[in-house]
Amino acid sequence: NAGVTQTPKFQVLKTGQSMTLQCAQDMNHEYMSWYRQDPGMGLRLIHYSVGAGITDQGEVPNGYNVSRSTTEDFPLRLLSAAPSQTSVYFCASSHTGSEQYFGPGTRLTVT
């Protein structure tokens, strides 16, 4: 199993640009989540999904959209990037939402 994969690994955007961060898992997990990690802030939950077709907001959802059309994929969309969205983004998946398996992360810089 590849586990949780994320692309791209690095990305630089200009303010106002849009992009999609990709996340895929091959473990048939129902739960998938997106976190952002900022210095001194730990990991904060952006959006999560408990199964295909179901998504919900986390702690910091503003400026991000998600969809879950399949069990395997959970893309995160930035509609209009802002410098405040400069961060490292982690996707995670799990069977129950507790023991989560994390991807390698995407480092995003918005200038």
Partner 1 sequence: GENVGLHLPTLSVQEGDNSIINCAYSNSASDYFIWYKQESGKGPQFIIDIRSNMDKRQGQRVTVLLNKTVKHLSLQIAATQPGDSAVYFCAEIGRDFGNEKLTFGTGTRLTIIP
Antiparallel, parallel or unpaired: β 4-7 and 76-78: unpaired
- Cβ-based neighbours of 46, under 8 Å, separated by 6 or more: 33, 34, 35, 36, 58, 59, 60, 61, 64, 66, 76, 89
Return the number of the residue (5 or 15) whose C-beta is nearest partner 1: 5
Q: Which residues bind partner 1 (CB under 8 A)?
A: 4, 31, 33, 35, 40-45, 48, 50, 56, 58, 90, 92, 96-105
Q: Residue 80 CB, nearest distance to partner 1 (Å)?
A: 27
Return the number of the residue (17 or 58) whose C-beta is nearest partner 1: 58
